[in-house]
């Protein structure tokens, strides 16, 4: 997992590996950690993620609600077609802003 | 031989192994890549449920997984010896509407039903559960 801070105080987190019950935990901790530090403008770059379960989706939903509570948001980019399919199945494509690249996701905060 | 079995202890760390086991057999039994992805995720959600609700996080429980080809159906059976639970009583989460109305839980069961053609739960009176999931193998 990589956490980067862009110059406009947007935090980009790129998880690695499977976002199942095991992999979602450290990602959830890192998202909460950033939100608690006041970094509520978040981008999750999923370009390295090939697998997600409901556990992964759940922590994203929670983080998104928390980020919005702090005046920010959680936006997504880099989803594979399979990931997008899972998001659509759960109806998450309609509640998350999903961008093809992190540049576009970052611009949307301006 | 149209049946493969695996037993794991009830640890989340075993999820990847068991889901990839089911995925590989699904491919072997004639499901395509995409359908095998569906099986992988459905098994993940079912085993996660067992670890969470039947064994309540106790890592010493045993979970038996059997994958079989019966006629034109790929059948996954997941058996545990934990506390009986009835996922059927949980309502499906909302998949539309604003974020404030979306529930945090319930998605796993929703995925199982969406990804497989049939999902059934049976449980004993005092202990043990059996989750059966079926995906049709198209000719």
Predicted pLDDT of residue B105: 63
Contacts of B45 in chain A (CB under 8 A): 53-54
Nearest by Cα to B44 from B71, B66, B22: B22
Contacts of A62 in chain B (CB under 8 A): 104
What is the average per-residue pLDDT within A75-93?
Answer: 96
Kindly determine whether residue B37 and residue A89, on different chains, have CB atoms separated by under 8 Å. Answer: no
Nearest by Cα to A52 from A29, A81, A72: A81
Contacts of A56 in chain B (CB under 8 A): none
Q: Which of A54, A62, A95 sits opposite B111 (nearest CB)?
A: A54
Predicted pLDDT of residue B92: 67
DSSP sequence for A1-44? -EEEE-TTS-EEEE--S-BSTTTHHHHHHHHHHHHHTT--EEEE
Q: Is residue B90 within 8 angstroms of chain A, CB to CB?
A: no
H or E element that contains B132: strand B129-136
| Mean pLDDT estimate for chain B | 91
Kindly determine whether residue B108 and residue A89, on different chains, have CB atoms separated by under 8 Å. Answer: no
Helices A54-69/B33-49 angle, 10° precision = 70
Torsion angles phi and psi, residue A45, rounded to 5: -90, 110
Predicted pLDDT of residue B20: 96
Is B28 buried (19+), middle (13-18) or exposed (0-12) by CB count in 10 A? Answer: middle
Q: Which of B40, B99, B107 sits opposite A57 (nearest CB)?
A: B107
Predicted pLDDT of residue B96: 75
From the CA of B113, how many Å to the nearest CA of chain A? Answer: 11
ipTM at complex level = 0.92
Kindly determine whether residue A22 and residue B111, on different chains, have CB atoms separated by under 8 Å. Answer: no
Q: Are A3 and A12 in contact (CB under 8 A)?
A: yes
pTM, to two decimals: 0.93
- Find which of A16, A18, A20 to mutate to test the B interface (most B CBs within 10 Å of its CB): A20
Kindly determine whether residue A94 and residue B96, on different chains, have CB atoms separated by under 8 Å. Answer: yes
| pLDDT tens profile B5-40 | 999 999 999 999 999 999 999 999 999 999 999 999
Predicted pLDDT of residue A110: 87
Q: Give the span between the Cα atoms of B90 and B102, in whole angstroms.
A: 15
Contacts of A90 in chain B (CB under 8 A): 95, 107, 110-111
Write the CB contacts of A14 (distance below 8 Å, at least 6 apart in sequence). Answer: A1, A2, A3, A4, A44, A45, A46, A47, A48
Sites in chain B below the pLDDT cut of 50: none
| pLDDT tens profile A23-70 | 999 999 999 999 999 999 999 999 999 999 999 999 999 999 999 999
């Amino acid at each position: 997992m990589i956490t980067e801070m862009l110059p406009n105080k947007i935090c980009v987190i790129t998880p690695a590996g499977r976002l199942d019950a095991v992999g979602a935990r450290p990602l959830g901790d890192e998202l909460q950690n950033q939100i608690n530090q006041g970094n509520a403008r978040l981008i999750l770059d999923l370009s390295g993620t090939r697998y997600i379960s409901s556990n992964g989706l759940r922590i994203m939903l929670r983080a998104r609600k928390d980020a919005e509570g702090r005046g920010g948001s959680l936006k997504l980019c880099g989803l594979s077609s399979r990931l997008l399919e899972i998001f659509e199945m759960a109806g998450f494509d309609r509640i998350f802003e999903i961008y093809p690249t992190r540049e576009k996701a970052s611009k949307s905060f301006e | 031989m149209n049946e493969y079995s695996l037993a794991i202890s009830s640890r989340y760390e075993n999820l990847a192994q068991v889901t990839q086991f089911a995925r590989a057999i699904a491919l072997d039994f004639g499901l395509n890549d995409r359908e095998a992805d569906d099986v992988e995720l459905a098994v993940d959600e079912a085993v996660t449920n067992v670890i969470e609700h039947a064994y309540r996080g106790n890592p010493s429980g045993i979970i038996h997984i059997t994958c079989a080809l019966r006629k034109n159906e790929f059948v996954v059976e997941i058996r545990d010896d934990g506390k009986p639970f009835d996922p059927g009583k949980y309502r499906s989460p909302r998949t539309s509407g604003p974020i404030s109305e979306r529930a945090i839980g319930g998605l796993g069961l929703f995925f199982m039903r969406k990804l497989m053609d049939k999902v059934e739960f049976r449980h004993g009176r005092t202990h043990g559960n059996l989750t059966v999931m079926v995906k049709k193998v198209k000719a």
